[in-house]
């Protein structure tokens, strides 16, 4: 939609992780005028080779990638447990960083990363792609322009079409860190405020195996901000009708809603109903434009020094909220956030 | 919704026709503060008796009703072939008149009625209830207020849920006089202009018996007005999803659409679709509010001398368009309207 | 919409309170085939006289109304502080009771009422009109029919167009008893479950005078039910776009939403936007059909002995939730409900 | 959205025309796995050079492009008056052809092209991109699957955001050939039927200069098909709210509508309205996905021999309808189509 207006600047990139999201980021990066995908690193050599071939890159291992001084930036799409190590390595080597969420499942470790990138002075961006979504970004811009006055209340609905395998859930850090981390980031971004108290409750309603793994699949979270604004988040691992990503913000002079996107604009009128499409199937479809804009944003930050919209500090803040929510849920009480 | 603000003025009424629409008009009239339903006249004495009982009226025959000098107004809901006679009788007796459409199937006879009520100086209103519909009336008011600049093009969609019995169709005067007469009135009202040329075509697609009766069930009509504005009307005797009553008007600065009404605002999201209610079932449900406002309008005209929105002259004009359209269809040519 | 199918049974009624809602109930009652409005009681004699005149009733005082043994039912629309007294008097006199919400601001007193009507064996119905709303009732019926499987999560949005005068707020019992009581009833009705824990928080964001009166204008409530289902309620005393009454329920097989109603179905397409009507202005407009059905339901219960959908026990349960929520808000903690 | 599933086959392409649409087609072609853009031809050498540089192609003139035997396909996006010459040259040289609409403004010449490509046996596809639009294509597939029974009536709304310069209009062949040609193609595709009679009328309502150029800016066309189905098309050169591309088809068992697409799913509720985005600005935005799929379709046809959805014969048929409509408008009569 938007054509790059910036003069092409050469940027050499190493991509870590050749899975689903790695392939998407690689393709979007490749579209930036000056980007050269130099290395793809993945323990799955076959996946690495396929992705490398597609973009004229080479397969490398960690040492190979970090040993090449010409690499300007790393794009980290590998498994969560490798994020912080790769961020620290990249920062130490003075390379710009794009890293998928979360920074790390452990807050201490995430803080270490935030400190490291700050010291290194590199561009470091976390993959909260929702902030780059055309609908969400337009809503935010209109909110900031004062269209509905002062924000007062935010309602976030965030439901997946189905739960991931229980094996995944066991290593996910729990629903608050794995799934709601995006919603916590939306909360901070839209309300432009920080949490004072968090209350979370939840249930396991779709699959007993999730409860057996110590997790829940449905949550209801309430945040009250330092300025007294209210936020309610509701999430579910399973919505029969598909991926549901909506939010609405009530302001002193009106309300802005961000609705779901549909694959087509067909409406069918039959004897029983007037029917429209269910929402885009899942995040890859729903956030296709967001992923493209995210990489353009990263490229712009790297080449022009513009600030990133989703920093490692943002990743850290979302993680703190996830921890607080998990604590609230486990102990059945309201949690007050420090500082 | 709107409570009568006028002081109650006593009006004695005789209702002709105790069928479905007669019962609706009687109930709406009875709600006007000063109306007294004095007589119900119907060849079906049982229906007349039931309706009379409901409103504390008496059953009468024609002579009885017209013989009572205290009757101020007649409400004519009897069969089409009695309309003109009752209009002429009422006008001659100096009684105010509400008459269902059409004035008459024969234009000459309709003109006679228009002349008679003009001479008599009585209030005479034709039941084009759509002009009183809250949605349609709001659209018209906004159009007249200049919200979309100068009107240029009108698209009217008018579909019934199912065809009436062929026996009815045989005596209906044909689809143009029976069904499109409402659409022709909408055309004149919304565009505030008169037809210069009419083209109509059509087909019989739902039931061969309609073709055997010399009629069609689907039409496509185009009108070009004296000021060069365009109007397209599409109608069908059968829409599987129910009663479809929409129109839209393109102006130099925008468009106004009047959409269907739904029984409820429930939306169901399931695996296959996001589904809303089909439209209100048929005219009795769709135009419930319109019928109520129509009678309030008649009462106001009778008691306060305000002009009627749908005069006998309007009924005549719609009939002329129906004749022109029928001629265009039969002869396969564009018809130019006189005067 | 629905015509009474029941044979007319004579019911003599005394109406207490000739204010806005009293006039609506009186008009809806008057439409029931066998109802005779015999007395209107109000400390404002002028208002009482006007309403009595409209329906051929007489003005009476408490003793007059209760002294007439022919009175079958009382309709209590007077100020909140008179509800329980009139309920108890009516029960003692063996009269059927319709009473506006709340039963009483004090739970003990409300329990007394519940006991009294149970002992008396009279029909006793509380004015939770939302349960009679066509959209809400259709949603509930479809939910009960299994259209979306097992209910899991309920999101209720309930916003008024503007706050009432602070004087009113001071005697309202607080936002949870005054405003959310309807939402608590919706929660119990839709989820068909009882609360186990309640968490409530809130803020005063629109008018400092409300905070000075010890109340808030914005709330966020979360309920977890005995069966582990989740409910989030968000309310505001002021929504710039008008009265906002929506809810949605996520089930194991889909979602049902109840949307706002609009005055008209006009859509305007102009250079800046595609615009529809804001919602119906306030409860009198939004719940017009609900109020009519509510009285028909009461009449049916009185004349046919059918059970009421909104009992005094329901009123009591909603009140208990309001107390728990207020406690949660004041003490900043999760409240567990007894029993 | 759809990834190419076909193995990459090398196809060498020459693009004629480096204007707006040429650049879009070139970019979409370049994404096909085996396509090599070898030449860009344009009288504007600068535009040609820019586009060639972007895709690693060379600038060539006509002789250069046609002189290279390795060229497999030509993509013709140059001005309308060059289409037929380039089609004939390509066919003579045995090259596959993609050509923007129209084939030619003169029917005789368009027939010559249809004959030539048929004799040559090359793939020859006309750029009726709407047939490749995800919404329109989904509607067509659902129609063909019988979702609404037998099609009976088609209503097409086709409005541009603003008229092109009068200089363009003068050489456009008139509104029927320039603008409605797409709508005529939609008509044939959706109804899968041919016209028996055509009636067209129109007006010049937006700019007198268009009338001075002998053209109109608003049209209303009605087609009755050989099987008695009805189609109404309404078009305008100017819609203040933007590009309006809708159609709906009534079938014996329901209706399918294709609605406009919006840039975002933001909804704003303010005091005056509930407002959504106006439609995508113009064809480049609205049909972005369609253009991409169109080129993928062409590539598939070239490499796999699959039939094209939009043939030169389709281009010819649409042109015949445009001629018939223009005749009907000029002479004010119904035109019957031959054979």
Average pLDDT along chain B: 96
CA separation for the pair A249, A297 (Å, rounded): 25
Q: What per-residue confidence (pLDDT) applies to A10?
A: 87
pLDDT digits 0-9 by tens, A7-51: 567 899 999 999 999 999 999 999 898 899 999 999 999 999 999
Question: What is the distance in angstroms between the Cα of B101 and the nearest Cα belonging to chain C?
Answer: 24
CB contact (8 A) between residue A232 and residue C230: no
CA separation for the pair A18, A250 (Å, rounded): 41
Residues of D in contact with B251 (CB under 8 A): 240
Nearest to B232 among D152, D220, D254 (CB): D220
Chains contacting A (3+ CB pairs below 8 angstroms)? B, C, D
Q: What per-residue confidence (pLDDT) applies to B1?
A: 35
Residues of C in contact with D268 (CB under 8 A): 273
Q: What per-residue confidence (pLDDT) applies to C4?
A: 37
Q: What per-residue confidence (pLDDT) applies to A338?
A: 81
Interface residues of chain A, partner chain D, Cβ below 8 Å: 1, 134-135, 138-139, 142, 147-148, 253-261, 263-271, 285, 288
The answer, yes or no, to whether residue D314 has pLDDT greater than 80, is yes
Interface confidence, given as ipTM, is 0.95
CB contact (8 A) between residue D251 and residue B240: yes
**% pLDDT > 90, chain A:** 96
**% pLDDT > 70, chain B:** 97
Nearest to D252 among B150, B204, B240 (CB): B240
Model confidence band, residue B10 (pLDDT cutoffs 50, 70, 90): confident
- The answer to whether residues A176 and A169 touch, using CB atoms and an 8 Å cutoff, is no
Query: For chain C, how far is it from start to end, CA to CA, in angstroms?
Result: 42
Model confidence band, residue A339 (pLDDT cutoffs 50, 70, 90): low
pLDDT digits 0-9 by tens, C120-177: 999 999 999 999 999 999 999 999 999 999 999 999 999 999 999 999 999 999 999 9
The answer, yes or no, to whether residue D1 has pLDDT greater than 70, is no
* Shortest CA distance from A217: residue in chain C: C152
Question: What is the distance in angstroms between the Cα of B6 and the nearest Cα belonging to chain D?
Answer: 30
Nearest to A269 among D138, D255, D259 (CB): D255
* Shortest CA distance from C277: residue in chain D: D273
The size of the A-D interface in CB pairs under 8 A is: 85
CA separation for the pair B199, B233 (Å, rounded): 10
Q: Could you tell me how far CA D289 lies from the centroid of its own chain?
A: 14
* Shortest CA distance from C272: residue in chain D: D278
Relative to beta strand C230-236, strand C151-159 is parallel
Record the tokens describing residue A65, joined without a space: 């990638």
Average pLDDT along chain C: 96
CB contact (8 A) between residue B268 and residue C135: no
Q: Could you tell me how far CA B106 lies from the centroid of its own chain?
A: 17
Average pLDDT over residues C108-124: 97
Q: Which long-range contacts (CB under 8 A, 24 or more apart) does A120-123 make?
A: A120/A91, A120/A92, A120/A94, A122/A90, A122/A91, A122/A94, A122/A95, A122/A96, A122/A97, A123/A73, A123/A96, A123/A97, A123/A298, A123/A301, A123/A302, A123/A305, A123/A308
The answer, yes or no, to whether residue C3 has pLDDT greater than 50, is no
CA separation for the pair D207, D217 (Å, rounded): 8
Place of tokens 């981390």: A181
The answer, yes or no, to whether residue C40 has pLDDT greater than 70, is yes
Question: What is the distance in angstroms between the Cα of D205 and the nearest Cα belonging to chain B?
Answer: 7
CB contact (8 A) between residue C199 and residue A152: no
Average pLDDT over residues C279-305: 97
Residues of A in contact with D258 (CB under 8 A): 264-266
CB contact (8 A) between residue B263 and residue C147: no
CA separation for the pair B337, C336 (Å, rounded): 78
Record the tokens describing residue C306, joined without a space: 């059918």
CA separation for the pair C138, B305 (Å, rounded): 44
Question: What per-residue string of b and e applies to D254-286 under the rule 16 or more CB within 10 Å gives b?
Answer: bbbbbbbbbebbbbbbbeebbbbbbbbeebeeb
- The answer to whether residues D310 and D149 touch, using CB atoms and an 8 Å cutoff, is no
CA separation for the pair A332, A320 (Å, rounded): 18
Residues of D in contact with C270 (CB under 8 A): 240-241, 278
Residues of B in contact with A239 (CB under 8 A): 269
Q: Please spell the DSSP secondary structure of C20-73, one letter per residue.
A: HHHHHHHHHHHTSTTEEEEEEE-SSHHHHHHHHHHHT-EE--HHHHHH-TT--E
Record the tokens describing residue A159, joined without a space: 């439901």
Interface residues of chain C, partner chain D, Cβ below 8 Å: 239-242, 244, 262, 268-278
* Shortest CA distance from A225: residue in chain C: C203
CA separation for the pair C25, C29 (Å, rounded): 6
Distances (CA, A) of A36 to A40, A56, A126, A303, D34: 11, 9, 21, 13, 21
CB contact (8 A) between residue A241 and residue C254: yes
The answer, yes or no, to whether residue D128 has pLDDT greater than 60, is yes
- The answer to whether residues C264 and B257 touch, using CB atoms and an 8 Å cutoff, is no
CA separation for the pair D324, B334 (Å, rounded): 15
Question: HSE on the CB side for A281, CA within 13 Å?
Answer: 3
Domains, in order of start, for chain B: 11-130 (3.40.50.720), 131-290+317-336 (3.30.360.10)
Model confidence band, residue A6 (pLDDT cutoffs 50, 70, 90): very low
CA separation for the pair B195, B197 (Å, rounded): 6
Residues of A in contact with C202 (CB under 8 A): 230
Nearest to D240 among C271, C276, C277 (CB): C271
Interface residues of chain D, partner chain C, Cβ below 8 Å: 239-242, 244, 268-278
Question: What is the distance in angstroms between the Cα of C184 and the nearest Cα belonging to chain D?
Answer: 26
Model confidence band, residue C9 (pLDDT cutoffs 50, 70, 90): confident
pLDDT digits 0-9 by tens, A130-188: 999 999 999 999 999 999 999 999 999 999 999 999 999 999 999 999 999 999 999 99
Residues of C in contact with D269 (CB under 8 A): 239-241, 244, 278
Record the tokens describing residue D301, joined without a space: 């046809």
CB contact (8 A) between residue D273 and residue C275: yes
Interface residues of chain B, partner chain A, Cβ below 8 Å: 239-242, 244, 262, 268-278
Model confidence band, residue C34 (pLDDT cutoffs 50, 70, 90): confident
Average pLDDT over residues D84-111: 97
* Shortest CA distance from D54: residue in chain A: A33
CB contact (8 A) between residue A232 and residue C222: yes
- Would you call A73 exposed, middle or buried from its count of C-beta atoms within 10 A (0-12, 13-18, 19+)? buried
pLDDT digits 0-9 by tens, B203-213: 999 999 999 99
**% pLDDT > 90, chain D:** 96
Question: What is the distance in angstroms between the Cα of A161 and the nearest Cα belonging to chain B?
Answer: 10
Chains contacting D (3+ CB pairs below 8 angstroms)? A, B, C
Instruction: Give the helix/strand (H/E) hosting B159.
Output: strand B151-159
Other C-beta atoms closer than 10 Å to the C-beta of D62 total 15
pLDDT digits 0-9 by tens, B219-241: 999 999 999 999 999 999 999 99
pLDDT digits 0-9 by tens, A70-122: 999 999 999 999 999 999 999 999 999 999 999 999 999 999 999 999 999 99
- The answer to whether residues D284 and D158 touch, using CB atoms and an 8 Å cutoff, is no
Record the tokens describing residue C308, joined without a space: 């009421």
pLDDT digits 0-9 by tens, B28-87: 999 898 899 999 999 999 999 999 999 999 999 999 999 999 999 999 999 999 999 999
Average pLDDT over residues D177-194: 98
CB contact (8 A) between residue D278 and residue C271: yes
Residues of D in contact with B149 (CB under 8 A): 240
Residues of D in contact with A270 (CB under 8 A): 147-148, 253-254
Question: What per-residue string of b and e applies to C222-242 under the rule 16 or more CB within 10 Å gives b?
Answer: bbbbeebbbbbbbbbbbbbbb
What 3-state DSSP class applies to A310? coil
Question: What is the distance in angstroms between the Cα of B115 and the nearest Cα belonging to chain C?
Answer: 37
CB contact (8 A) between residue B220 and residue D230: yes
CB contact (8 A) between residue A220 and residue C222: yes
* Shortest CA distance from D202: residue in chain B: B230
The answer, yes or no, to whether residue D282 has pLDDT greater than 50, is yes
Residues of A in contact with C224 (CB under 8 A): 201, 203, 220
CA separation for the pair D85, C317 (Å, rounded): 83
Q: In what order do the strands lie in the sheet with B73-76?
A: B58-59, B35-41, B11-16, B73-76, B96-99, B124-126
Q: What per-residue confidence (pLDDT) applies to D5?
A: 40
Q: Which residue of B151, B211, B239 to mutate against D (max D Cβ within 10 Å)? A: B239
């Amino acid at each position: 939609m938007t054509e790059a207006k910036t003069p092409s600047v050469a940027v050499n990139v190493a991509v870590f992780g050749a899975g689903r999201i790695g392939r998407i980021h690689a393709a979007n990066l490749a579209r930036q005028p000056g980007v050269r995908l130099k290395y793809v690193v993945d323990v799955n050599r076959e996946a690495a080779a396929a992705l490398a071939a597609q973009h004229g890159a080479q397969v490398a291992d960690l040492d190979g990638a970090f040993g090449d001084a010409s690499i300007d930036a790393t794009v980290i799409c590998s498994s969560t447990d490798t994020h912080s190590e790769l961020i620290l390595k990249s920062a130490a080597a003075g390379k710009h960083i794009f890293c998928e969420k979360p920074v790390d499942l452990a807050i201490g470790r995430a803080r270490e990363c935030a400190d490291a990138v700050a010291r290194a002075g590199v561009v470091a961006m976390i993959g909260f792609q929702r902030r780059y979504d055309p609908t969400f970004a337009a809503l935010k811009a209109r909110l900031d322009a004062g269209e509905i006055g002062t924000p007062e209340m935010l309602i976030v609905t965030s439901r997946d079409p189905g739960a991931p395998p229980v094996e995944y859930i066991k290593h996910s850090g729990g629903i608050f860190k794995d799934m709601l981390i995006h919603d916590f980031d939306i909360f901070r971004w839209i309300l432009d405020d920080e949490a004072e108290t968090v209350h979370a409750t939840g249930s396991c309603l779709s699959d007993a195996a999730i409860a057996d793994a110590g997790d829940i699949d449905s949550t209801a979270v309430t945040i009250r901000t330092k300025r007294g604004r209210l936020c309610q988040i509701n999430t579910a691992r399973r919505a029969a009708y598909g991926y549901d990503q909506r939010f609405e913000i009530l302001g002193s002079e009106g309300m802005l809603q961000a609705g779901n996107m549909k694959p087509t604009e067909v409406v069918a009128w039959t004897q029983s109903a007037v029917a429209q499409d269910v929402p885009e199937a899942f995040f890859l479809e729903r956030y296709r434009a967001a992923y493209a804009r995210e990489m353009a944003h990263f490229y712009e930050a790297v080449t022009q020094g513009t600030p990133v919209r989703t920093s490692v500090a943002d990743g850290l803040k979302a993680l703190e909220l996830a921890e607080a929510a998990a604590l609230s849920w486990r102990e059945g009480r309201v949690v007050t956030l420090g500082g």
